[in-house]
Chains A and B, each alone.
Chain A
Amino acid sequence: QVQLQESGPGLVKPSQTLSLTCTVSGGSISGDIYYWSWIRQPAGKGLEWLGRFYTTGRTNYNPSLKSRLTISVDTSKNQFSLKLSSVTAADTAVYYCARGDFGEEFFDFWGQGTLVTVSS
């Protein structure tokens, strides 16, 4: 069974760049055809899709974050990453990585989530 695990700093200063990594186990990140997404959830609030990376190399970003967001993949480590620049307190949230199947529009496997706080 596929498992995803987020990792990265839990505290980021305002205006800096938030960097997270999602490590995939139980399956190859480049095998078959999947897309790999980042989703976040501020405390006590709903979910927000941030962006996704296809194993074909294509990326899609939420327009509300597109200018600040980069998603990349390291197939040698079976990982994909998120970088969000110029963060503010509004970016404080639990960040999840998740998998979807090509041609299917849902998220079938999720990481446990990691809390990132933006504060000086």
Chain B
Amino acid sequence: QSALTQPASVSGSPGQSITISCTGTSSVVGAYNYVSWYQQHPGKAPKLIIFDVSNRPPGVSYRFSGSKSGNTASLTISGLQADDEADYYCSAYTSSSTLYVFGTGTKVTVL
């Protein structure tokens, strides 16, 4: 199962909004609303920030929001802050034996 496609990098100035896309296929991303997003700071473990396309776990800032249209999921970070500078990975559940496919990852830079 191929990795989901994300832009390699996205940048924005403090206070701006950015959106990261995550493109899969009709059997991955498109088939289920089981898309999650993870934030990973350098040298740290990934942290869950969005699950089931658009839900935030307790404690995650409202500035993070998720959506999905067809085979593409998106993560939007509004009011960009310095601490948002990190790598972001999407993940999707698939009914194939691979079960979970991750995205290629996006490096977010705060200018």
Range of interface residues on A (Cβ < 8 Å): 20 to 34
12 more A-B residue pairs beyond the given contacts A46-B102, A46-B103, A111-B45, with a C-beta to C-beta distance below 8 A:
A49-B98, A49-B100, A49-B101, A60-B97, A61-B97, A64-B98, A96-B45, A105-B93, A105-B100, A106-B91, A107-B38, A110-B45
Q: Residue A104 contacts which of B45, B47, B51, B97 (CB distance < 8 angstroms)?
A: B51
Residues of A within 8 A of B (CB): 37, 45-49, 52, 60-64, 96, 104-108, 110-113
Residue of B with least CB distance to A104: B51
Q: How many A-B residue pairs have CB under 8 A?
A: 61
25 contacts between A and B (CB under 8 A): A46-B103, A49-B99, A49-B100, A49-B101, A60-B97, A60-B99, A61-B97, A62-B98, A62-B99, A63-B97, A64-B98, A96-B46, A104-B51, A105-B32, A105-B34, A105-B93, A106-B36, A106-B48, A106-B52, A107-B36, A107-B38, A107-B46, A107-B48, A108-B51, A112-B45
